[in-house]
Amino acid sequence: MRLVVGLGNPGEKYARNRHNIGFMAADEIVRRHSFSVYRSKFQGELAEGTIGGEKVLVLKPMTFMNESGRAVHEAATFYKIAPEDILVLHDELDLAPGKLRTKRGGGHAGHNGLRSIHAHMGEGYGRLRLGIGHPGHKDRVSDYVLSDFAKADGDWLALLLDAVADNIAFALDGKDSDFTTRVAQAVQPPRSAKTEKSAGADTNKDSD
């Protein structure tokens, strides 16, 4: 059994925020693979289904981002799911919009949701880092991630979410290179002066 965790903040106010791209990806996986409807459980919303012949749970913590670890810990403990069988989907400032990377273990890089999961589960879980770009200065980060995606982001965002849902079985099987390659082939994010340098091999697996 695998546990997929989408990170975000609950409520309509935050639904289209950049910080909620993890929720968006989780919802697309649930829709694409015909999971059960979400039900309230483990301080979150939980859906169940099958991907690649294996049972998969999708969890969206309803605790707000900085307490996400509580919901993850409750679900993992109840179902006896080891950290290495958990994949967390979250926003990543240090990747250009439409890019992604996978990561297994390592630090939380200051992400509040990951920080909370680290505190409850350790660092051994997998991460799917979904690029949202950086506002250019650290003082603008909070407003940026808690703002809605721009209308112009709609095309690359839809492509990314579709590609993640279509190919998530590879990530769950630990075939990170296959997963990122297939997603990269499906997604053609817009280029700009700000993202030109980072658009390239950013869909590779992290080694740190």
* Distance (Å, whole) CA 193 – CA 103: 27
Integer angstrom CA distances of residue 141 from 81, 110, 133: 33, 12, 10
Write out the catalytic residue numbers. Answer: 19
Q: Closest Cα partner for 184 from 172, 166, 197?
A: 166
Nearest 10 degrees: Cα torsion 197, 198, 204, 208: 110
Residues in Cβ contact with 163 at an 8 Å cutoff, skipping those fewer than 6 apart:
182, 183, 186, 187
Please give the Cα distance from 199 to 34 (Å, whole number).
Answer: 33
